[in-house]
Amino acid sequence: MQTPAHAGVFLFSPAMIYSLLVMSAPASGQGAMTAARFARAALARGHSVNRVFFLDAGVANGAAAAVYPQDEEDRLRPWVELAEQHGVELILCIASALKYGMLDEAEARRYEKPAATAHPAFTISGLGQLVDAAAAADRLVTFGG
């Protein structure tokens, strides 16, 4: 992590708050993994990432049961690490999540589906979470779309 630069007696910290909007599917193109790398790089430079909001095809990034090719980068683990090691909030848009079959325990029960399909590092919630994150962020960065 970078230390804040000193300017005279003042402590000058250029750290910014980022929100990410991810609309790229995990197994198509590079958008989603670029988003995860962006988040990691921002954190490594002392910035904060207040929330990653997954919308449309992006919600499939939370698929707990997806098995990616062994000789390729795992597309779930980078997100789980961001949540577990850095406390980054991962939110799946509920309207998109239902359409893509991404359910947590509560939604699986509500719609009488056999199992939860979203990884527990992800939370299923509404678009208000995107609006709220954007309002608190210095920068909102869109991936995909």
SS3 category, 79: helix
SS3 category, 67: coil
Q: Which residue number, 118 or 137, has a Cβ lying nearer to other proteins?
A: 137
Contact between 131 and other proteins by CB under 8 A: the answer reads yes
Give the number of residues in contact with other proteins, rule: CB under 8 A: 22
Contact between 108 and other proteins by CB under 8 A: the answer reads no
Helices (H) and strands (E) in the chain, counts: 5, 7
Smallest distance from other proteins to CB 134, Å: 5
In the annotation, is 24 catalytic? no
Contact 74, 33 (CB under 8 A): no
Contact between 142 and other proteins by CB under 8 A: the answer reads yes
- Bridge partners (DSSP) listed for residue 122: 90
* HSE (side-chain half, CA atoms, 13 Å) at 112: 0
Residues that bind other proteins (CB under 8 A): 21, 23, 55-57, 95-96, 99, 126-128, 130-132, 134-137, 139-140, 142, 145
Q: Which residues are catalytic, by number?
A: 93
